[in-house]
């Protein structure tokens, strides 16, 4: 089981072991390689670590991880965001998602 502290440590820069990487890949719907080698495989939950060519190849992602990665690339078209830029981006993205959810709820009434 992944504790909140372990997830926070990993998102802050600590590299998970293989067992935890498997759990993270299931939790976030990303390939295991994104957690074990984030410098080589673009991970939308740790874009500040990526060191490959930019914009990255997103063929290894699917569903919500893919849409989140596309939003990151749209917001940062020249280079991957720094950790501080990514924190601000996540905050704005969450607000956007909440707004969209509330609009959907209003439409469904």
pLDDT in tens, 42-99: 999 888 889 989 999 999 898 888 999 999 999 999 999 998 999 999 999 989 888 8
Q: What is the total count of domains within the chain?
A: 1
Range of the domain at 33: 4-108
Read off the pLDDT band of 106 (50, 70, 90).
confident
Overall pTM > 0.85: no
Task: Give Rg (Cα) of the chain.
Answer: 15
Fill in the DSSP letter of residue 58: -
pLDDT in tens, 16-43: 888 888 888 888 888 999 888 888 999 9
End-to-end CA distance of the chain: 38
């Amino acid at each position: 089981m992944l504790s909140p502290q372990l997830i926070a440590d990993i998102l802050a820069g600590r590299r998970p072991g293989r067992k935890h990487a498997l759990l993270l890949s299931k939790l976030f719907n990303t390939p295991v390689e994104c957690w074990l080698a984030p410098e080589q495989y673009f991970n939308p939950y740790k874009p500040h670590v990526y060191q490959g060519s930019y914009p990255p190849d997103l063929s290894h992602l699917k569903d919500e991880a893919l849409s989140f990665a596309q939003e990151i690339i749209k917001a940062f078209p020249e280079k991957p965001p720094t950790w501080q830029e990514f924190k601000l981006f996540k905050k704005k993205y969450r607000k956007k998602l909440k707004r969209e959810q509330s609009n959907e709820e209003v439409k469904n009434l």
